[in-house]
Amino acid sequence: MPEPAAALRRAVRVYLDHLTVERGLSGNTLTSYRRDLDRYLVTLARRGVTDLAAATPAEIAGHVAALRDGDAEHPPLSAASAARATSAVRGLHRFAVREGLAADDASRDVKPPSLPRRLPKALEVDEVLRLLESVGGDGPLELRDRALLEFLYGTGARISEAVGAAVDDLDLESGSATLHGKGGRTRIVPVGGYARAALDAYLVRGRPALAAKAPAVFLNARGGPLSRQSAWAILRKAAAGAGLPVEGARAVSPHTLRHSYATHLLDGGADVRVVQELLGHASVTTTQVYTLVTVERLREVYATAHPRAHS
């Protein structure tokens, strides 16, 4: 395998530093970008390209096509993974132009693979209630599990935001919580009555019994912060207890509660821009996918209820 030129490796290193410091991307995203760009540098090295200014649109387009086709060393990437890798390459070239490493952006007209539009999976309200009610008991872990699920559905928090929340981020008296989201952005969200009651019960009767060793709201049995994997396992167990799917395309996940939160708000008449703020989306375009969910729901109701819906 040819070794990429030092100038290429230096450009990638500076670009990733920029994403870390200026953009505040998560560690997982940076790891994926680094892997994607390392593969791109190998492609350039095989074509004898030693700096970004010499890369051509045809070479970049060929690299993107190879992502979907795979090769002897790499299996074919899914459309989503190939789109992410293409974004990493295009971002690198845009950065190179801004930094004076290249006069033109050779990736400008290279388009990422189109993604199939997938509507978010959302539970019905009665399914959410079954899920929440499947967690019972007054032990510390049972109180924690109920509080976690109520918090996820009651605030629309991402799983990383929930397990990353500290006790000081909660203001149960005023019914609000501060969530620390993607890119270092924070937002304050309301916490509903059911979630407040579950959190209060856990903080008063459950959390002290776990011999807290961390400021996190949600603790594991040893008193340390609950991990994302453990939070996922808690939800999976609750879903199984509620008779909801835990395998396959309809499997309940932490994001399912976030999707349900957004969908139920819009079904109840909330403005899409308010939901955008509550979810912490940087662009309303991301939130608008939920409006498609509610339109699909209306179609389903019409098809089953209207006497002239079917020919």
List residues with catalytic annotation: 158, 182, 255, 258, 281, 290
- Site of tokens 């019960």: 201
Of the candidates 239, 292, 235, the one whose C-alpha atom is nearest the C-alpha of residue 127 is 239
Phi/psi of residue 246, nearest 5 degrees: -120, 5
- Nearest by Cα to 155 from 136, 180, 182, 124: 180
Instruction: Find the radius of gyration of the CA atoms of the chain.
Output: 23
Distance in angstroms (rounded) separating the CA atoms of residues 286 and 289: 6
Beta bridge partners of 188: 178
Within 10 angstroms of residue 304's Cβ, the number of other Cβ atoms is 9
The Cα–Cα gap between 40 and 47 comes to 11
Contact assessment for residue 249 and residue 262, using Cβ atoms and an 8 Å cutoff? no
